[in-house]
Structure 1
Amino acid sequence: MSQIRTVSDAKRDFYRQHNRPINSIFRRVVEELLVEMHLVSVNVDFRYDPFFALGVVTSFERFMQGYRPESDKASIFNAMCQAVGDAPETYKNDATALVELAKRCSGQQLIDCFSRDNPPEGAGELWSKVEAIAKNEKFKYSRLFAIGLYTFLGEAEPALIEDADKRDEMLSTLTEAMNLPGEKMKKDLDLYRSNLEKMTQVLAVIEDALVAERKRREKAEAEANKPADNVEETQPKAEVTDSPAE
């Protein structure tokens, strides 16, 4: 029987794959996502599916917006997937396929498909996975799966996730049809949206600080390069007085 890999094992593999420093603001985001992926993947009931993949890809892209250098993002993502024993290309390809499927349908069509077992044309193997999830009594729910499902519906019709009433109605339909924990999923998605807002605010503050610092440097450089004005000599002149009579 093989030994279950630990969080430390996953982190060690990650930093072996990606050995460049990670911007301190984003390091916590990366490590928390890596730990979450690891803990889900080692659960005995976990079965990889495209919605989980879309949740991972979406979380990474949304929380890593503004990361510099941009070229390091691909290396970080690849290292995360490899650290939990998966291929990054599989995550990306499955996430892309789900998004493309969503964009071919309306939000209501997708909800009807979930609730009525009536898949849209061209759904193929992806839709069979939806049925498998609904019928799997031991299905391992995760926050990343919820984010993937949430993103999937949003790609088809943004109003489904932007409007609170529509969002709650949609989640109620999906969780009932797929035997998912409704309250847990709602809380997870509320936290996800809240964290995204906080991250956006942090990045905005950082951007404002960078702009202010850049302007300060430009002003200082302009002052340093400014031609010196003609300044009159400040040396006091000797007063000329009549010599006293001898």
Structure 2
Amino acid sequence: MNNVRTVSDTKRAFYNTHTRPVNSIYRRVVEELMVEMHLLTVNIDFRYDPIYALGVVTSFDRFMQGYRPEEDKASIFNAICQSLGDHTPNYRGDAEHLLLLASQHSWDELLSLPGQSSEIPEAHDLRQHLQAIVNNPKFKYSRLFAIGLFTILQTADPTLIKDEVKRTEALKQVCSRLNLPQEKLQKDLELYSSNLEKMIQAQIVMEDLIKADRKKREERAQAKAAANDAAVSEPPKDEATSSS
């Protein structure tokens, strides 16, 4: 009997957990991320790791910027994670730990394997995960893992990110070190950057529309208030006639 969860199961679980409507401009983002995570978690070769977790959190946070109401974002993220099954890893906790490490150490220090450089005690678990990736010929690479790697680089060395040649070389080296598909990773990051830019532009347009609609409502309210004030201050017609 096949007990593998379906995409429909995951979507149903999400909407049963987060019961408020999802803002229309973001609904596609939420569902695409949820489906992508679902397809990975049901893959027999997939193994959760903190770099993947950082990619999930970064992707969600970047694409959901500007979401209203703001307080719904945490509920949506938690519902996505919980919809994937019984065991829910600590995505945010693992992501925040990696970001803290990246803010304190260099890219090379963090992504070097055991024995390749001076040991960083607090990065021991990350080193173990990296070694497991190298030792696993069936490691399930994903776009979200690539985003996690890129976020580490971006946090550890912001200036390197701005130099295309150095950025490409750094990613090339880590792909070689971890046996990752360099060309696919590069394309995934380019698509991520392109989609993020499109989302930012859509958010700007939406914000402009909201401001314009708010201004029209305010103008109508002011016009209505002015008309009401004029009606109150104007004397009744029969009174005006008798006084003349």
Give the TM-score normalised by the residue count of structure 1.
Answer: 0.86
Aligned to 2:116: 117
| Larger Rg over CA atoms | 1
Structure 1, unaligned runs of 5 or more: 232-246
Sort the Cα spacing of 1:159 and 1:183 in 2 relative to 1 into closer, same or farther, 3 A: same
AA matched with 1:64: M
**What SS does structure 1 have at the residue aligned with 2:212?**
helix
- Structure 1: distance between partners of 2:180 and 2:217: 55
Bigger mean CA deviation after superposition, 206-215 or 31-40 = 206-215
* Worse-superposed segment, 217-226 or 77-86: 217-226
The letter for the 2-side match of 1:170 is A
The answer to whether the 8 Å contact 1:160/1:167 transfers is yes
How far is 1:143 from its partner?
0.5
Distance in 2 (CA, whole Å) between partners of 1:5 and 1:221 is 52
Aligned twin of 2:135: 135
Conservation of the 8 A alpha-carbon contact between 1:115 and 1:177? no
Higher helix share: 2
Please, which runs of 5 or more residues in structure 2 have no aligned partner?
A: 235-244
Q: Deviations over 1:99-154 (max 9, x none)?
A: 0111111335445x259732434312122111111221111000011111111111
Aligned counterparts, 1:18-57, within 5 A:
18-57=18-57
Displacement after TM superposition at 1:87 (Å): 5.4
* Paired AA for residue 54 in structure 2: L
8 Å CA contact 1:115–1:173 kept in 2: the answer is no
Equivalent-residue separation in structure 2 for 1:200 and 1:190 (angstroms): 15
TM-aligned CA deviation for residue 157 of structure 1: 1.4
- In the other structure, the counterpart of 2:223 is 223
Aligned residue for 2:61? Answer: 61
Find the counterpart in structure 2 of residue 214 from structure 1.
214
- Determine the C-alpha separation between the residues in 2 that align with 1:160 and 1:109: 15
Cα distance in 2 for partners of 1:110, 1:15 equals: 38
| 1:170 equivalenced with 2:170 (yes/no) | yes
CA distance in 1, matches of 2:10, 2:51: 22
SS in 2 for 1:123: helix
Residues 38-70 of structure 1: per-residue CA shift (max 9 Å, x gap):
101111111110001001111111111111111
Contact 2:54/2:148, CA 8 A, preserved across alignment: yes
RMSD between aligned alpha carbons?
2.2
* Percent of paired sites with the same residue: 55
Q: Counterpart of 1:189 in structure 2: which amino acid?
A: L
Alignment of 1:179-198 (within 5 A): 179-198=179-198
CA drift of 1:194 comes to 0.4
Report the CA distance between 1:223 and its aligned residue: 3.1
Match for 1:10: what amino acid? Answer: T
| Partner in structure 2 of residue 241 of structure 1 | none
Q: 3-state SS of the aligned residue for 1:122? A: helix
Question: Distance between the aligned counterparts of 1:39 and 1:14, measured in 2?
Answer: 15
